[in-house]
Structure 1
């Protein structure tokens, strides 16, 4: 039976949550279901397929969809917008809500059935926001508390365990569904001709320039390495990245092509992909790198890397905030690395299997 699915998300900015939801939507469409993206703010870097309907609530990033005060009025406006969309396209059999602004609004809308996807470690995100001041912390705290009594989907078992153990929120239910990956499509896109890729050997890091990603640790590790290969940074704020690299004395070894809608040729041709984060949910880029056949080295941050890098790959997990360990692992990975076909995670994240798990929620 054809299902009518709504995927609700803050924007189409260039993050992992946006990418995996686009993959989920495309796979559902291929299986003959009706999928609509309900996007709070009309901005972002991802292209949307022509056959995927998108509905924007706010016309731009400057139009606020959350506020310190006045959330009652915004919530009513949001619910009216959802109802208007349903009048146009029909009632939805399932709402899948993603990211803090969407989750806050959807929690107040009380639309059924709604499942809230938790993409990152709750405790780590709160800890990070606490350092940024009371207002930012309160808004984050409010968004996480909005998940109280809700049906949650976590993208890794680590996040699920954290939620169950912490007692910060008490969901109605919580289950893990890994993010979906279209393996064949990623491998096809990795073969696409691309301008600007270095001719010689290089390493790669993929991720927005944000404190969570710890580019400072990455640059310190580069400085400590015996191997002096350059590092391609696929990030969104190249000027800040360049300034930090200069501070750590590795400016001459970084290549900054900026955000790439198709990062896979860059990943495939790299000798190594490195992740230096303090926290993740299920780091998409590690799985994408394995699909492309590129070795990975990662911090063993909460959560996700240890679920991806199992068996022989676990040797290349290193402690967080430890550039010396990261440097040693990167040097070793460039010399010898296990067979990537032994990565068990690749059998668990196929888009078809993950999509079936989501469709089952619609009844």
Structure 2
């Protein structure tokens, strides 16, 4: 049998879910003795996710800094660059993470076993009718024929692609949950903090947001819910870990000033090992408009940290509940925490008004409940093994490289 030579293709090297997933794949396949290369479409000096001597990149400055003409040329040249890398490195299998990587790989016209992957709820994302989203949606009916398999990380995402996004090549779709190296997560959680100030901070009652401050994750909803909670409870703080898009960071800071909670909210920025912080949090909180199956929820389960999340996708029930049955009425208690009503109101972007929503009060109520009782953590600890079974690293990484029957 031909030795496997694998190329992982990711957009950036930030600390988002797709990038951490790619690093998990990289480490596992290397341990199996495969030859593995990781290609970043964009490499930045601030990258947290890195692949050492096995790292390749197409550009070393952000797309947003490119003039439109250079950006267009990058889009045109990327498939050819990938083609050259595949041939030079004698790649037998490629795994792409996200729409841009999928598209460029599908246009490279190489012969390796090509795997694409979809990580978010596309019908919501495509409501932003920018040119890239139009191209991505077009590729679902055209260039995706050149991929051998397209992995959806939840049943909900697969259904959405078929029913709402006119995805043509349904025989190529396969649901495979994101794998997680539970031992590595738990080992990372045992590392010391970067400073005594951080250690002191996380000795308190901490609500933690872990991820990129993006339009999809709509962190302003969490901040508003915390503002509600802070008026009821004095001994709790909110910590954000992750980088973000400048307009969103600016809006978050504006809300902090508006609500006069600067002494209760901490923005720690990127952290190369977020698990040490997650393990010490009282609750992980998400307030996204849409998600795929958020990796950070599984990481919280692995570290016995209860989760409070909005119903950003029906896929959260697949992650957080034993039976996965969807219920969209009110705050729903499940084995790993509480799922609150959806916050998405049909329009992406920073809200025009700072008015508080009923759903933000629901989110605040759920956070207060989890902070007030050990029952949520105890329930999670009891259910943890069963909840984590479908994310087995060996099973998932093998499935990615296996043709669809």
Tell me if TM exceeds 0.5.
yes
State the shift of 1:39 in Å: 1.7
* Equivalent position of 1:133 in the other structure: none
TM-aligned CA distance change 1:279 to 1:145, over 3 Å: same
Aligned-partner Cα distance in 1 for 2:6–2:404: 8
Is the CA contact (8 Å cut-off) linking 2:137 and 2:165 kept in structure 1? Answer: no
Which residue among 302, 313, 319 is the counterpart of 2:335?
313
Q: Report which stretch shifted further, 159-168 or 276-285.
A: 159-168
CA RMSD, Structure 1 to Structure 2 (Å): 2.6
* Equivalent position of 2:325 in the other structure: none
Aligned-partner Cα distance in 2 for 1:185–1:138: 39
Aligned-partner Cα distance in 2 for 1:103–1:25: 18
TM-aligned CA distance change 1:339 to 1:100, over 3 Å: closer
* Equivalent position of 2:98 in the other structure: 99
Aligned-partner Cα distance in 2 for 1:244–1:166: 34
State the shift of 1:154 in Å: 0.7
Aligned-partner Cα distance in 2 for 1:175–1:362: 8
State the shift of 1:257 in Å: 1.6
* Equivalent position of 1:40 in the other structure: 41
SS of residue paired to 1:278:
coil
The superposition leaves residues 227-247 of structure 1 with CA deviations (integer Å, 9 ceiling, x where unpaired) of 341011113155553322222
1:206-355 alignment runs, 5 A limit: 206-225=210-229, 226-228=232-234, 229-237=236-244, 240-311=251-322, 312-313=334-335, 316-321=338-343, 322-334=359-371, 335=373, 336-337=375-376, 338-343=379-384, 344-355=386-397
Aligned-partner Cα distance in 2 for 1:55–1:174: 28
* Equivalent position of 2:137 in the other structure: 144
* Equivalent position of 2:122 in the other structure: 122
Aligned-partner Cα distance in 1 for 2:205–2:151: 39
Aligned-partner Cα distance in 2 for 1:30–1:341: 31
Aligned-partner Cα distance in 2 for 1:147–1:167: 8
Matched, 1:189 2:215: no
Which residue among 195, 201, 205 is the counterpart of 2:205?
201
Aligned-partner Cα distance in 2 for 1:26–1:347: 20
Unpaired stretches in structure 2, ≥5 consecutive residues: 323-333, 344-358
Count of matched residue positions in the alignment of Structure 1 and Structure 2: 353
Is the CA contact (8 Å cut-off) linking 1:66 and 1:74 kept in structure 2? Answer: no
State the shift of 1:32 in Å: 1.1
The superposition leaves residues 87-136 of structure 1 with CA deviations (integer Å, 9 ceiling, x where unpaired) of 5422x221212223222222222334222100111111112x24xxxxxx
Unpaired stretches in structure 1, ≥5 consecutive residues: 131-136
Is the CA contact (8 Å cut-off) linking 1:40 and 1:65 kept in structure 2? Answer: no
SS of residue paired to 1:230:
strand
Aligned-partner Cα distance in 1 for 2:67–2:124: 22
User: TM-score, normalized by length of structure 1?
Assistant: 0.88
TM-aligned CA distance change 1:305 to 1:31, over 3 Å: same
State the shift of 1:69 in Å: 10
SS of residue paired to 1:216:
helix
Is the CA contact (8 Å cut-off) linking 1:272 and 1:295 kept in structure 2? Answer: yes
